[in-house]
Amino acid sequence: MGVRADEIGVAAIWLFILSLGAAGCGSDIAGDHGVGFTRTTTSTTIVSIPSPTTTTVVGPAPSTVGSIPDPPVPLPVTTTTTLFVPVSLEPGESGPAVERLQQVMAEAGFFRDSIDGVFGERTATAVIAVHKALDVTRSASWSVDDWALLAAYPGPTLPVRDDQDDRIEVDVTRQLLYRVQDGSVADIIPISSGNGELYANASGRLVRARTPRGSFTFYKQYDGWRISYLGGLYRPWYFSGGYAIHGSASVPPYPASHGCVRVPNWEADYLASVLWVGLPVHVWD
C-alpha cells in the first residue's frame, strides 16, 4: 500500500498509549455510563523548563591593573545668602532688624536682655550706652551709620591694672560702667553720676553733688530698696561713705544724681549676681 516504515512505527506507539489509557481508567469509563458512582480525575501537567543560556564573550578580559577610575560627578549645591541691609530704627519698632541690633549689642557687651526683636525701654537704654561709648549724640534712635560704627568699635581704653583681673571701672566722662572679668570687659552699662549742683545734705548744709573719684572697694551691700533722705536706692553697693552704685528708675544720659552712680533697675538686678564685697572699684574722668 505504499506505507512507510516510520509511519507504521508512529501508529504502533499511539496504539500502545491508548491501550494503557483504557486499562488505567476502567472505573472512569464505567462511571461515565453508570449510576451512583463518583468520578475522580487525576491530571498531570508536564512543564518544560528551558535550559540556562550561557553567553560567551569573545575578546580579552578587561584589566583593572593601572586603570584610572572615572572622577566622581559633583552634586549640584544650592547656596542661599541673606544680605542684611542696614536700616535706621526707632523705639517702638519691632522685627528682624531690631533682633539683629539686640544681638550685635549683646555681643559687644551692651545688652543683657532677651533677644525678642522689640525695641523697648531696655533696648533703647542699651542704644544710648552704645552712643556714649562711640562718643556720638546720646540718642535712643539707631541710625544707618551706627551699624558700621559699632562693628568697628574696639572696646574701651581702660587703665592697666595687672593685679586686678576682676574689677569695676566707672568712666564719669562717658557716663559708663565697665565690668572687667578675667582681664576683659564683660559688660558695659550706662550710668548717671553726680550732677555737680548744690543741694542740702542731711544736716542742712549745702554741698555739691559730686561723685568721688579714686580707687575703692565695695564694703557693704543691701538687697532690695534702701530709703534715704534723698530718695530710694535699689540694691546699693557702697564703695565710699554713703556713695554707692545702685539701681534707679531715673537714669538719664547725663549726670543727674546727688553723687551716687545710678544704673537702671534691671541692671542692678544683674549686677547683684556678679558683684561681691571686696571687689575693686575705680572712678575716673
Give residues with Cβ within 8 angstroms of 190, minimum separation 6: 125, 126, 128, 129, 132, 175, 176, 177, 251, 253, 263, 264, 267
Q: What is the mean pLDDT of each run of 10 residues along the chain (285 residues)?
A: 48 44 41 37 43 49 60 72 87 98 98 98 98 98 98 97 97 98 98 97 95 98 95 97 97 98 98 98 98
pLDDT per residue as tens digits for the range 20-62: 444 444 444 333 333 333 344 444 444 444 444 444 444 555 5
Query: Are the folds of 96-151 and 167-284 the same?
Result: no
Burial class (CB in 10 A: 0-12, 13-18, 19+), 69: exposed
CB 140 within 8 A of CB 130: no
Identity of residue 212: P
Residue 65's pLDDT is what?
55
Question: What integer pLDDT is reported at residue 90 of this predicted model?
Answer: 98
Burial of 26 (0-12, 13-18, 19+ CB in 10 A): exposed
The answer to whether 272 touches 223, Cβ cutoff 8 Å, is: yes
Return mean pLDDT, the chain: 83
Q: What is the pLDDT of residue 9?
A: 52
DSSP state of 35: S
Instruction: Detail the DSSP E strand segments found in the chain.
Output: 167-171, 176-181, 184-190, 198-200, 206-208, 214-217, 220-221, 225-228, 231-240, 243-248, 261-264, 280-284
Q: Please report the pLDDT score of residue 78 as a whole number.
A: 72
**Do the strands 280-284 and 214-217 form a parallel or antiparallel pair, or are they unpaired?**
antiparallel
Tell me the one-letter amino acid at 32.
D
pTM above 0.85, yes or no: no
In whole angstroms, what is the distance from residue 177 CA to residue 168 CA? 7
- CB-based contact 267:189 (threshold 8 Å): yes
96-151 has which CATH code?
Answer: 1.10.101.10
CATH number of 167-284: 2.40.440.10
Given its phi and psi angles, is residue 151 left (phi above 0), alpha (psi -120 to 50 degrees) or beta? alpha
Distances (CA, A) of 127 to 9, 131, 243: 116, 6, 27
pLDDT of 72: 75
Q: Are 245 and 263 in contact (CB under 8 A)?
A: yes
Torsion of CA 95, 108, 126, 83, to 10 degrees: -20
Q: Which residues contact 156 (CB under 8 A, 6 or more apart)?
A: 133, 169, 171, 176, 178, 185, 188
Residue 153 host element (H or E) = none
Which amino acid, 49?
I
Q: What is the pLDDT of residue 227?
A: 94
CA–CA gap between residue 245 and residue 259 (Å, rounded): 10
Domain segments of the chain as ranges: 96-151, 167-284
For 217, phi then psi, to 5°, come to -140, 150
Query: Quick check: helix, strand or coil at residue 228?
Result: strand
AA letter at 141: S
